[in-house]
Structure 1
Amino acid sequence: MKVTLISIPVLDQENALKFYTEKLGFLKKKDIPLGGGNRWLTLVSEEWQDGPEILLEPAPNHFEPSRVYQDALMKAGIPWTQFDVQDVASEYERLTKLGVSFSVKPTEMGTVKVAVFNDTCGNNIQLVEEL
């Protein structure tokens, strides 16, 4: 068994696509219209194009429990998911210059360094560097 897809709920798929590709550097892999303005919209890491896909899912707009959960995580400052990076400090600097807002600046926590940013789509995302 292996993970091939993770879902991130987003409030606006088009804005999410711009943020995740233009700021974070992911590549669009699939963009299939599903009707009603919804899309099967997936991304992959530029560094691992055959790796797991990220589904930018419009669930909060169609399923109230999803919106409630997403809002609760955001309000509590809890990340929806995490992305591994080689160097949290340099990613923090790069993304800050692109206007990304961080709620947690690079911080060492035991064997990792973390930072948390707002993806502008309703989620906190954590960056993690293994030390």
Structure 2
Amino acid sequence: MTSAPPTFDTRGLADILDASSQEQLDTLDFGVIGFDADARVQRYNAFESQAAGLSPQRVIGEPLFTNVAPCLNNFMVAQRFEDAAFDAAELDDTIDYVLTLRMRPIKVKLRLLASAASGTRYVLVQRR
């Protein structure tokens, strides 16, 4: 990672996150959830842990769309990752979203990142 931490909107962010240590992820001011082809969470930063109230020990290795964040298991989020994987296509979409699980509804921006070159996909969460 460069000396200045990346922002939510940084170009090429998936590659930067792939190359980042856990300590570097924990310095970011937005949530990072990285998951594998089976949708099991592999990376989870401190910002998201604190905001969601879920410890990394509870989240790492768990299925994202069923156990961790079932409110993302829909056509707007989960299906986009499935479609990108099926088409072997890049995914870099930012959408307005409302998180509803385990909390009062919270408006956020989600950035959905997937690369055919990387085994890790990302849901980034920017709270307003």
TM-score of the two chains, using structure 1 as the length reference: 0.29
Larger Rg: 1
Higher percent of residues as strand: 1
TM-score of the two chains, using structure 2 as the length reference: 0.29
